[in-house]
A and B are shown apart, each in its own frame.
Chain A
Amino acid sequence: MNKTLLGYVPEESPIYVIHPFVKLFFMLVVSLFPMFITAPEWNSALIILILILMWYSRIDIKILRFYVPIAISMGSVILLTYTVFGGNHPEFITLVRVLGIRIYWERVRDAIVVYFRILPMIFTMVFFLSTSRERDIIVAMRSIRVSFAITYLFAMALRSAGMVMEDFSTVREAEQARGFDSAGKSIAYKLRRYIMYMVPLFAISLRRSEDFTNALVARGYSFTGLLRNPKRADYILTHYQFTLLDYILTAVIALSFVVLLIYRYGLGYFGLEDSLIIGWLRQLLI
């Protein structure tokens, strides 16, 4: 596995033959799928499909454990928001009353539906970040003619994030070298102490921004006129050819989205009323 700023990518993967645009297109379009799917089982099926794609792409599935805390905390927040802070609805079916708060079946159901909509989006994002390096994202944007100035701003943001992370690590090591040890201390103590990281970090960032600007000027870069005059050779794009496979995959992704819309709104599939999981839960809880 190779580390990137945004995650880990495999050394070798069959998905690397695919043009970065197709990966970005997959991420953008497939993340929209759950917006039109209400039944949790279909969103679960989408998660399984993405897991199969991850396995096929030789992504180390163990990386998913990094996202478990996010999934758990997100699920908890959604559940609390819908149930405890869901408001008073006399028209809903009350499941249980906890400390005077009514927990309604409809709100629990909605929380589950929303959670199962968000999960595939996270999986799609993880899949994308686990198969794309930063350069792929830039190439994908440039290949659809996004202005160089905008893609470069995005690249600089990524680059700056990397620099800040490296600087933070240096500052932290410097503090530890002077005997700072937060192990076993309270969160309040750690937070208070973390503030002292900020001073050197700001100082380095200010100096870096000056050096960075000088480096850009020395390489003949200027934002002036770039937006008005987008003509500029893009050497990196010459490494990426859009092949027949890429056209086919793009068409399949777009077509599957259209099919989804037809099935959802034309034929009434993927709705809550036909959901097996929701039906089974309803029987279980009520």
Chain B
Amino acid sequence: MPPIIAISDYSWKYPHTERPALNNINLTVEEGVFLGIIGPNGSGKTTLAYSFNGLIPGQYHGIKHGEVRVLGKEVEEYGGGDLPKIVGVVFSDPEAQFTAMTVEDELVFGMENLGMDIPEIRERLEWVVNLTGLEPLLLKPPYEISGGQKQRVALAAVLAMTPRVMVLDEPTSMLDPISRRRVFDVLARLKREQSNTIIVIEHSLENLVPLADRMVLLYNGELLLEGETQPFFQQMDMLLEREVFPPGAMHFFHNLVKHGYYSGELPLTLEAAADYLEHLFNRRHHTEAEAS
């Protein structure tokens, strides 16, 4: 199957800057993949996110080299309103994404823009409200709901447009831990029940890593590392050097590896870490019992 997004030799430089925000990026995203993009601030993550749905170069000035193709077509070749049908973006600021006067208005706004008719809008609204648990908030105005709820609304508003690719640019950076969890719960449900391609840019890896099929590391505008999640995090020393801090459990096991207490793969979730640890203790207990 051809990739849904194919980026080749792509560079982007904003005006009046010394170096490009993105430099010679080559990346393909297959349909149905959950891709995590990480990297320190200023590494070009948001620029890459905006490039996926044509906000760059559509809304920004700059110099572009290379290609960003969505479904085999350059992003600039899409007519107005066509690309949002394929690539939906959720931004980091929940406040600025709320463009209507109630949650319900916000959810239907994108669908109306895409020219859907009333029965289809109703059907999709029901589906997305059910998926994201927004039913009690439907008639609330933006100033009566929390940042976390607003971010779920933003996610739902994009989901309602049923894009084939969802790009989330630091969707939880302004949220408290519980709201973060809720946003990732929705993403987990999406991954489980839908076939969307999901690209998440995130600093907090605790929630991202268990869901991601593949990971990408951006650093100073360059793609330094890409691969499936498990092997990706085997390059732990390199990630730590590049200011990427893995989830605590993974970091703990990495230290066990360094001290020679453990030699297997690093756990991606807390549950996996608990299992590995139990296995480690059992084995040690067994060895000690045999020795005595």
Contacts and interface: CB of A to CB of B under 8 A. Distances in A.
Chain B facing A: main interface SS: helix
Main DSSP-derived SS at the A contact region: helix
Given A135-B105, A219-B157, A233-B121, A163 B112 contact: no
B50 A219 contact: no
A217 B141 contact: no
Contact of A163 (B96, B118, B125): B96
B113 to A, nearest CB: 4
Which of B53, B113, B122, B144 gathers the greatest number of chain A CB atoms within 10 Å? B113
A215 B150 CA distance: 13
A91 interface: no
Nearest to A209: B96
A159 B53 CA distance: 25
A235 to B, nearest CB: 4
B97 interface: yes
A222 B80 CA distance: 8
B98 A234 contact: no
A158 interface: yes
B280 interface: no
Contacts of B99: 156, 159, 212, 215-216, 219, 221
A134 interface: yes
Interface in A136-179: 138, 155-156, 158-159, 162-163, 166
Contacts of B96: 163, 207-208, 211-212, 215
A219 B110 CA distance: 5
Contacts of B112: 232-235
A284 interface: no
Interface in A204-241: 207-208, 211-222, 224, 232-236, 238
A212 B59 CA distance: 12
Contacts of A238: 118, 122
Interface in B84-115: 84-85, 88-89, 91, 93, 95-102, 104-105, 108-115
A260 to B, nearest CB: 34
Contacts of A134: 101, 141
B281 interface: no
B117 interface: yes
Interface of B: 50, 53, 55, 58-59, 80-81, 84-85, 88-89, 91, 93, 95-102, 104-105, 108-118, 121-122, 125, 141-144, 154, 157-158, 161
Closest 4 CB pairs between A and B?
A: A211-B96, A219-B110, A220-B113, A220-B84
Interface of A: 2-5, 133-135, 138, 155-156, 158-159, 162-163, 166, 207-208, 211-222, 224, 232-236, 238
